[in-house]
Structure formats: C-alpha cells, structure tokens
Amino acid sequence: MRLIGETIFVVPIYRESREDYYEQLGKLHDKKILSLVELEVRFGGKREDAEKYYQRNYVPIPVPSMWNYNRIIGWIEFYANGGIIKADLCFLNSKRISKQLSNKIYISKGKLSDVCLTYNRSNEEIRDMIKRFIGDLQDGKYWLKFKKYFIDSALLMRTLKYIDIKMLINDLIQEQIQQCESNKKADEL
C-alpha cells in the first residue's frame, strides 16, 4: 500500500481485448442460435424458417461488466512521488481468471516500477517514457502475465498529449508540501 504520492492516471487491465471479447460473444451467439434451431426442428419446425427467425430476432446480451465491455481484472495506477512518476499494480487475487469474476478480491501487488524522473525532462520526453513503459508492460517485461491480458491504454494515449505533466507534478508537490506544513503546525499545537 502506497503511503506517499498522488494518483495522476489509471490504466485498466482486461482479461481480453475488445475484439476478442466480441468475437467470443459472436461465437456464443451462433452456438445459441444453432441450439434454438435444433430445438425448433425437433418439434416439427422447418430449419430454414427457424434460422431466419432466430437470426433476425435473437440478440446476444453482453455479460454485465465493471468497465467498458469486459470484466476488469486489474489496473495500473500511475502516481507522482516528488518528481518521480511511479506505477502500482492492483490485480485479482486469484490463481485462475475466468469470465465470471464473482467473489473475487482485488489486491495491491505494490510498485511495478519507477516510470520516469521528471526533474530535467520536457513534457514530450515524459510522455515518450510513459508510452514506452506501457509498451514494455504489454510485452511482459515487468510481469510475464501481462502478455496474455489486455492493457487498455487507449484513453491515456489519446489524452496524454494534452496534459502538462510537469505542471501537474509541480502542483502535486506543492500540495504535499502544504499538507506537511499544516500537519506540522497541528502537531505543534
């Protein structure tokens, strides 16, 4: 559990990518239609009529999810600790990750890595280091399990170019200093 540092952004980790999720959903849809058609034929219906009917009227319903399209299995929390951007990992406390995530608990796995030192770097250099870090995560350089899961960094990548990271970190440092000073004053009283 992190004691110091403010979260600056969070990146979700999914069991599978959006494309894989909807491909699986499509396969389940086709399997369900086939079973409905077979049932209809067994009770005397015509196969062609049943196929047309179910193709038109049966709509697959995605499994209710915690995030966009799929069940999230963890997240990477980027935070500023002084002038250093660091990354923590929260992940399911489970040996096996299946589609059904009921009764599962997320735990902090602790710090993944220092992402970058921001003191003598420009915003562009910091952005590039964050992008490289996320690419390395997906390649399994920090934890091999990341290779089989989907790190959804699309939102971060879209917004990163508009964030003045240096100013954000400097503001957070100033807030931390003010908080320490107010705590010190409170202790003196």
Q: What is the pLDDT of residues 116-127, one digit of tens each?
A: 988 889 999 999
Q: Is the pLDDT of residue 75 over 90?
A: yes
At what angle are helices 123-138 and 165-188 packed, to 10 degrees?
A: 90
User: Who wins on pLDDT, 165 or 59?
Assistant: 165
Element (H, E) at 9: strand 6-14
Q: C-alpha angle 96/19/112, rounded to 5°?
A: 50
Distances (CA, A) of 160 to 82, 130, 152, 165: 20, 9, 14, 9
**Could you read off the pLDDT of 98-149 as tens digits, one per residue?**
766 666 788 889 899 999 988 889 999 999 999 999 999 999 998 888 888 9
